[in-house]
Amino acid sequence: MSRTTYTINNRHFEVWRGWYYHTPKPQPEIPYDIQLVTLRLADALPATELQKMDFDARMVQPSERVHFKRQRTQDILNACHGSCALQHPEVARAILDVLEDQHAKRYKLIAWCIMPNQLHVLIEPCCPLARIVQDWKAITTRWALQHNKRLGLKLKKGLWMKRYQDRFIRDKTHLTEVTHKLHESPVIAGLCERPEEWRWSSAHNKRH
């Protein structure tokens, strides 16, 4: 290696010339694993209902509170509070169009179910999940607000809650269980008697 000295404003600098090796920063891993994603409408869980849930949870043993809150949350969702904008056929169709538009481009769409106040999607992503969900929210929210008045959706600001839920699928057995539970969602909520009867579900599509 050779050395060169420079003088700038009476200050001396030494620059070594030779071979330099650059180690690139590790790139974030792309989550190719199958994941279950759940989005809820912004008004699906009213504050009053959540306050009641927290109060009642105090009467439950600490070891059982997580399960209690999970079940109570699902009961609140099944009661269909709020605008339930997703039950409108045009809104459901718009959301399904967004899901299918990116199939085979940014993820593999495995199963889905559009409920009145929440959305369940089972995908195998090939790019960061956060970016996928952000685009889902942005596109569908923009569409819903544009048609808010015409469809009588009664939306105030946004369509979705800020947070979303995601869960990794462990293996094929787990995938079968989660897919079955996803398709059973409208049955459990009392919206239909059989999964394939629910129009806005991949179980309905398999019937045809």
> Which pTM does this prediction carry?
0.79
Task: Give the model's pLDDT for residue 12.
Answer: 53
Task: Give the model's pLDDT for residue 20.
Answer: 42
Nearest Cα neighbor of 124 from 62, 33, 38 is: 33
Task: Give the model's pLDDT for residue 30.
Answer: 46
Nearest Cα neighbor of 91 from 126, 131, 139 is: 139
CATH superfamily of the domain spanning 35-44+83-206: Transposase IS200-like (3.30.70.1290)
* CA 1 centroid distance within chain: 54
Sole residue written with tokens 């590790």: 26
Spans of all domains in the chain: 35-44+83-206, 46-81
Task: Give the model's pLDDT for residue 85.
Answer: 95
Q: Walk along the chain (208 residues) in steps of 10 and give the mean pLDDT of each run.
A: 56 50 49 86 91 90 89 87 93 97 94 97 95 96 95 88 93 94 95 96 79
Task: Give the model's pLDDT for residue 82.
Answer: 86
Three-class DSSP labels, the chain = CEEEEEEECCEEEEEEECCCCCCCCCCCCCCCCCEEEEEEECCCCCHHHHHHHHHHHCCCCHHHHHHHHHHHHHHHHHCCCCCCHHHCHHHHHHHHHHHHHCECCCEEEEEEEECCCEEEEEEEECCCHHHHHHHHHHHHHHHHHHCHHHHCCCCCCCCECCCCEEEECCCHHHHHHHHHHHHHHHHHCCCCCCHHHCCCEHHHHHCC
